Amino acid sequence: MTSNTTTKVKICGNTNIEDAILAAEAGADAIGVIYVANTKRYIDLGAATRIFDAVPIFVSKVVVLTLDKDPIESVQDKINRIVDTGADCIQLHGDEPVELIADLREFLNAQVKLIKKVGVGGTKKKCLENALAYENVVDALLLDTVTGGAIGGTGKEHDWSISKEIVERVKKPVILAGGLNPDNVANAIAFVKPYAVDVSSGVEREVRIKDAVKVNRFIEAAKSAEKS
pLDDT tens digits, 47-97: 999 999 999 999 999 999 999 999 999 999 999 999 999 999 999 999 999
Asked if residues 174 and 194 have their Cβ atoms less than 8 Å apart, the reply is yes
Alpha helices in the chain, H assignment, sequence order: 17-26, 45-54, 72-84, 98-108, 124-134, 160-169, 185-192, 212-224
> What's the sign of the alpha-carbon dihedral 166, 170, 171, 173?
negative
Q: Is the pLDDT of residue 1 over 90?
A: no
Determine the pLDDT at residue 109. 87
Q: What is the pLDDT of residues 191-210, one digit of tens each?
A: 999 999 999 999 999 999 99
Q: What does the pLDDT read at residue 31?
A: 98
153 pLDDT higher than 60: no
Kindly state the percentage of the chain with pLDDT values over 70: 95
pLDDT of residue 150: 59
The residues annotated as belonging to the active site are 12, 144
- What is the pLDDT at residue 100? 97
Contacts of 4 (CB under 8 A, 6+ apart): 195
Orientation angle between helical segments 45-54 and 17-26, nearest 10 degrees: 40
pLDDT of res. 5: 83
**Given this structure, which CATH class describes domain 8-224?**
alpha beta
pLDDT of residue 102 exceeding 70, the answer is yes
pLDDT score recorded for residue 154: 65
Question: What was the pLDDT predicted at 11?
Answer: 98
End-to-end CA distance of the chain: 14
Tell me, what's the pLDDT at 111? Answer: 84
CA distance 5 to 164: 16
C-beta separation of 193 from 173 below 8 A:
no
Q: What pLDDT score was predicted for residue 120?
A: 95
In whole angstroms, what separates CA 65 from the centre of its chain? 10
Tens digit of each residue's pLDDT (9 = 90 or more) over 110-135: 889 999 999 999 899 999 999 999 99
Average predicted confidence (pLDDT) for the chain: 94
What percent of the chain clears pLDDT 90, i.e. is strictly above it? 89
How sure is the predictor about 176, in pLDDT bands with cuts at 50, 70 and 90?
very high
| Domain spans of the chain, in order of start | 8-224
